[in-house]
Amino acid sequence: MLIGWINVRQLICSAISWFLLTSNCLLADDLSSSTASSHWAHRPLMVTSLPKPSSHTSFDKSFDTSFDTWSRGPIDQFVLDTLRHRGLQPMGDATPAEFIRRLTFQLTGLPPGEAETQAFMADPSLDAVEQLVDRLLASPRFGERFGRHWLDLARYADSNGLDENCLFREAWRYRNWVRDALNEDMPYDRFLLEQIAGDLLPYTTTAQRDRQRIAAGFIVIGPKVLLGNNPENQRMEVADELLDTIGKVVLGQTLGCARCHDHKFDPVPTADYYALAGIFASTQVMERRFMLGEQRVMERLVGLGDHGDQLDEAYETFYRELPGLRDKAKKAGEAYALLRQAREELLNESELETFRDVLAPDASDPRVPPADRIEAQSQFVSDLKKKIASAPPIPPRAMIPADVPEPADETIRIAGKFDDKGEKVPRGFLSVLCEGDNTRISGGDSGRIDLARWFVDPQQRSGPLAARVMANRLWHHLIGRGLVRTVDNFGSTGETPSHPELLDYLARRLIDSDWSIKALIREIVLSHTFALSSQTTANGREVDPENQYLWRAHRRRLDPESFRDAMLMAAGQLDLTPMDSTVWYLGDQATAVGSNPVRRRTDFPCRSFYLPVIRNDLPELFEAMDFTNPHAATGARPITTAPSQAWFVLNDQMVMKAAEQTADRILQDYPETQAEQRVAAMFSKITGQTTVEVSTQQKTLEYIRQTIEQLQNQQAEQPERRAWSLACQALMASSRFQYLD
């Protein structure tokens, strides 16, 4: 009986295993089939007519009459249509002071100037808004703001991180290229093309060649395991990191899941993964060169300028030969010491043979007088020491990839193991996003040019998807939350759009404007939706507590870069001069195990855009205030509110110094008899408020009076300056400063 039960149990278990196995197979087959392309993100862009006011019947009739005047364009019509179908009404507008602060921070990462705020409040008309938007988009500060958004996606850093945190001394060139490309409003399709294949593109001048090659630093700048890594494994790991990054950044797809098996949720078979992997496995991002006193496999660097290749080769040749030069100088010195010994024969045959390669010609010739032989060897040793000491300067270089000498297709790696090879797969693209054959590599190169063009081809399913992803990213940064909240995941495990018609409209606008990023940003910020107040209503909180349908503005906390820059601006210390490298003072190893006395600096008065981003050693402010993870592409930074952040603002030396410098400005500009004007100036410089409530002003002055009295009782130095500094720091720690309404 027991035996019979065991057999039945085994049969049941076998049946369950068979069911699960066949279910997974059926799922994989379904995901690989044409039916998988019915997923919303893989469809062609919708062509929908704009909503009409007459289509709304379940809404406040008094608002229907103002539909045309409230809506400034299609964006507002789509938003309002969604609100009305859900019984929601948009909030009123933000105040002019709130609006200009929101707009200026969103487009430049900086607060508006006091004079600019006053001028806008005197004339907040739509014409004035348009002029302000155009001025901000034309500002060089725009590229620093939106450049930082892209650097989050590009996993930008000034060091490698991981097992050995070696310095990326030339990463700043890619950072500044991103800034300049966005300031120039480089079309998004070209923006992608140069970053994915800039080193392969034709050029007419050396300057153009270098700009395009620097853009391709996007391919090189990711983190890599450097020590104890099999070269073949490293090659496949680099390809995997690039596929994972580019899949999320451009298409919003989690491609890395298909490295070991067919994607469990999205239509990405393993064969497609290795079709793409063949492109990046045929791309060289590493090279053997001098680093940390020896020849090592490091990120690939290429010389810039007309003679860049020669200068780079001379630099690397010197360091390749340096260990041998040092050995030669040491032995030559030993030979010199022997020659100086008072011996008639100077060097016997055995010694002569030992030192033959490190002797000056005259020093090894017995026919030359002894004194002359000694002098010749002395000069020889001196010349060797001078050669060792005369290292060439680091030439202008950049992190630039290259195709391998013989680009080739890749084999599927069984279970993702680099040394367990299966069937070879032709290089190509994602089948689900292709109209026709997915193998489109046209020439004998890696295929990166073809891939970059396929990404933005409107005739393929990839083009509309790339446009949706980028339009959604811009919406996320400007409005505070994406129409698809999972900005890096448009797959089955991501969220669906809250406003699908609006998302497709924005994607179409991006394509039709020749992929102009600035044009789409301009349309979004000129919408009435962008100008809404962040205030709430009981009905709105009940129907849509997360503001998914945009009945009000999202209240947002400043990112750490804007937080720091705004403090320095209030203190009158922010230097807007663009910078190149801010890691020139670091050694080859940015951080090291054990003693590491030279750390990255954060005391530069420049914009935070230029501060060093050392993987595993971020600036303290970045760590505390939700900076991006520089090891991976990040489209939406984490948002946390923790006690440690408040403690940081109250105890950080940089914050306290900025507060002191702000107080100094106020005390210098206003005499002691103008206490009310001092309070008004403090709020204006720090929070941008043009008026201060009487009660707030009185409480502030009372706090300062009590603090001065306490400091005087403690016999503290400069009690008035200290009290005003503490008031400024308290205001910098407040939500009035840290949040955008």
Most confident region among 237-251, 340-354, 409-423 by mean pLDDT: 237-251
The pairs formed by 421-427 with CB atoms below 8 angstroms and a separation of 24 or more are 423/271, 425/271, 425/274, 425/275, 425/278, 426/275, 426/278, 427/275, 427/276, 427/278, 427/279, 427/282
pLDDT per residue over 133-168, tens digit each?
999 999 999 999 999 999 999 999 999 988 888 999
What distance in Å separates the CA atoms of residue 410 and residue 273, rounded to the nearest whole number? 10
pLDDT per residue over 659-690, tens digit each?
999 999 999 999 888 989 999 999 999 999 88
595 pLDDT tier (thresholds 50, 70, 90): low
Q: What is the pLDDT of residue 21?
A: 36
What distance in Å separates the CA atoms of residue 351 and residue 370, rounded to the nearest whole number? 16
Please state which of the ranges 168-172, 342-346, 711-715 shows the lowest mean pLDDT.
342-346
Q: Which two tokens stand for residue 249?
A: 């950044």
pLDDT mean across residues, the chain: 89
Q: Is the pLDDT of residue 511 over 50?
A: yes
pLDDT per residue over 479-495, tens digit each?
999 999 999 999 999 99
What distance in Å separates the CA atoms of residue 587 and residue 164, rounded to the nearest whole number? 13
Q: What is the pLDDT of residue 11?
A: 47
- What are the φ/ψ torsions at residue 729 (nearest 5 degrees)? -65, -40
Measured CA distances, 673 to 44, 95, 661, 696, 727 (Å):
68, 32, 20, 19, 18
pTM of the model: 0.90
Percentage of the residues of the chain whose pLDDT score is greater than 70: 90
Q: What is the pLDDT of residue 13?
A: 45
- Cβ neighbours around 636 below 10 Å, total: 16
Taking alpha carbons only, the member of 491, 507, 655 closest to residue 75 is: 507
What distance in Å separates the CA atoms of residue 76 and residue 78, rounded to the nearest whole number? 5
Q: Which two tokens stand for residue 504?
A: 């497709």
Most confident region among 253-267, 592-606, 716-730 by mean pLDDT: 716-730
Give the CA dihedral 161, 646, 654, 587, nearest 10 degrees.
-10
Q: Is the pLDDT of residue 543 over 80?
A: yes
Taking alpha carbons only, the member of 612, 602, 642, 608 closest to residue 626 is: 642
Taking alpha carbons only, the member of 536, 539, 547 closest to residue 481 is: 547
Containing 302, the helix (H) or strand (E) segment is strand 301-303
What distance in Å separates the CA atoms of residue 235 and residue 455, rounded to the nearest whole number? 23
Cβ distance 89 to 551 under 8 Å? Answer: yes
State whether the Cα torsion 297-300-305-306 is positive or negative.
Answer: positive
Q: What is the pLDDT of residue 127?
A: 95
What distance in Å separates the CA atoms of residue 172 and residue 608, rounded to the nearest whole number? 13
The one-letter code for the residue type at 602 is T
What distance in Å separates the CA atoms of residue 152 and residue 77, rounded to the nearest whole number? 32
- Cβ neighbours around 544 below 10 Å, total: 19
First to last CA, the chain: 75
Q: Is the pLDDT of residue 454 over 60?
A: yes
Q: Is the pLDDT of residue 635 over 80?
A: yes
Cβ distance 377 to 360 under 8 Å? Answer: yes
pLDDT per residue over 637-646, tens digit each?
999 988 999 9
Q: What is the pLDDT of residue 301?
A: 96
What distance in Å separates the CA atoms of residue 293 and residue 189, rounded to the nearest whole number? 42
- What are the φ/ψ torsions at residue 294 (nearest 5 degrees)? -155, 170
Paired with 424 in beta bridges are 411
pLDDT per residue over 29-76, tens digit each?
444 444 456 899 999 998 878 887 654 444 444 444 355 678 999 999
17 pLDDT tier (thresholds 50, 70, 90): very low
Q: What is the pLDDT of residue 62?
A: 46
Query: Coil, helix or strand for 299?
Result: strand
What distance in Å separates the CA atoms of residue 499 and residue 78, rounded to the nearest whole number? 8
Q: Which residues contact 294 (CB under 8 A, 6 or more apart)?
A: 323
* Residue whose token pair is 């300057």: 207
* Residue whose token pair is 């450097």: 226
- What are the φ/ψ torsions at residue 281 (nearest 5 degrees)? -70, -20
Taking alpha carbons only, the member of 286, 310, 299 closest to residue 395 is: 310
Q: Which residues contact 109 (CB under 8 A, 6 or more apart)?
A: 141, 144, 145, 148, 559, 561, 562, 565, 607, 609
Q: What is the pLDDT of residue 346?
A: 63
Query: Coil, helix or strand for 289?
Result: strand
Q: How far, in whole angstroms, is CA 713 from its chain's centroid?
A: 50
The pairs formed by 133-139 with CB atoms below 8 angstroms and a separation of 24 or more are 133/103, 133/107, 133/522, 133/525, 133/526, 134/522, 136/103, 136/104, 136/107, 136/108, 137/107, 137/518, 137/521, 137/522, 139/107, 139/108
Q: What is the pLDDT of residue 2?
A: 40
Paired with 425 in beta bridges are 410
Q: How many CA atoms lie within 13 A of 695 on its CB side?
A: 0
Taking alpha carbons only, the member of 250, 190, 273, 154 closest to residue 449 is: 190
Query: Coil, helix or strand for 398?
Result: strand
